[in-house]
Amino acid sequence: MVGCGNSLMSEDMVKDGYEDIMNVDISSVAIEMMRTKHASVPQLKYMQMDVRDMICFEYEYFDTVIDKGQCFSSSALFLFSVLVEKAYVGMMLIKPGGTYFLITYGDPKVRMHHLTPSAYNWNISLYILPRPGFKKPGNSSSSSAKPCLEAIPLTSEGMLPPDYVLEDPDSHFIYICNKKVGEVAQIHPHTH
Ligand SMILES: C[S@@+](CC[C@H](N)C(=O)[O-])C[C@H]1O[C@@H](n2cnc3c(N)ncnc32)[C@H](O)[C@@H]1O
């Protein structure tokens, strides 16, 4: 879990049966708080670390990397560098057949170019989830937008189809990047 903050997601995953979750955040305050809170939960490990230093983990060490949320208070340049590095680090750390999940408010116009370098060797599917309880404007209470549980068909450039209507402007975009099996990444950490 990269940039875990004080998110409940990891503890919810333990309730769902996940057995070994490494949580990383640059904030020592967040990590200390979460370590104390989950001291009796052996499935959850916490490390204070800049995600861009995670390359110290063994290559292809993790089954999955989950990247939920971004700091909008960061400067644009810093945010850009972290985004690029997170996708890169995610790609290097995941086993073939594993998955990088990016959960964000960023639509494909602002995220896809970070995720699509040809050397990344993964297939990307996009899911869009409206806020829980979001209702289409002007409609009755029974017409809450339903989460779309099917991948959105994307254009060849990885963009939303021109006629796609985003009902909730505050939807979450979930990019599921499945690392291909049997192909070697073209980028080496020391040449990046
Ligand atoms: C918007 S919060 C999201 C927290 C959590 N993932 C969630 O969904 O609630 C972003 C988190 O990323 C962390 N962060 C920002 N830059 C980071 C970096 N370079 N390395 C590790 N964590 C970072 C921040 O400390 C913060 O906890």
4, 56, 86, 103: residue to mutate for ligand 1 pocket, most atoms within 8 A of CB = 4
Inter-axis angle of helices 108-115 and 76-93, to 10 degrees? 50
Rounded Cα gap, residues 10 and 35, in angstroms: 12
Q: Checking phi first, is residue 172 left (phi over 0); if not, alpha (psi -120 to 50) or beta?
A: beta
- Tell me 51's DSSP state: G
Terminal Cα distance for the chain, rounded: 22
Q: Is the pLDDT of residue 97 over 90?
A: yes
**Interval between CA 5 and ligand 1 midpoint (Å):** 5
Mean of the pLDDT values across residues 114-129?
Answer: 87
DSSP string for residues in 140-183: -TT-BPPP--SPPPPPTTSPPPTT---S-TTPEEEEEEEEPTT-
Q: Is the pLDDT of residue 11 over 60?
A: yes
Q: Is the pLDDT of residue 60 over 70?
A: yes
- Parse the chain into domains and list their residue ranges: 50-191
Q: In Å, what is the CA distance from 164 to each residue of 71, 117, 168, 184? A: 27, 25, 12, 35
7, 13, 48, 51: residue to mutate for ligand 1 pocket, most atoms within 8 A of CB = 51
pLDDT the model gives residue 191: 40
Q: In Å, what is the CA distance from 109 to each residue of 69, 160, 188? A: 17, 8, 27
- Tell me 55's DSSP state: G
| Beta strands per DSSP E along the chain | 21-25, 44-48, 62-68, 94-104, 122-129, 172-179
Whether the Cβ atoms of residue 68 and residue 21 lie closer than 8 Å to each other: no
pLDDT the model gives residue 27: 95
pLDDT the model gives residue 7: 94
Average pLDDT, the chain: 83
Q: Is the pLDDT of residue 142 over 60?
A: no
Give the CATH number of domain 50-191; options: 3.40.50, 1.20.1070, 3.40.30, 2.30.29.
Answer: 3.40.50
What is the value of pTM for the model shown? 0.85
Mean of the pLDDT values across residues 103-107?
Answer: 89
Mean of the pLDDT values across residues 82-97?
Answer: 77
Quick one: which atom of ligand 1 is closest to the CA of 70?
A: 1
Lowest mean pLDDT among 51-60, 96-105, 182-191: 182-191
| pLDDT band (50, 70, 90) for residue 38 | very high
Closest CA to 19 of 64, 59, 60, 49: 64
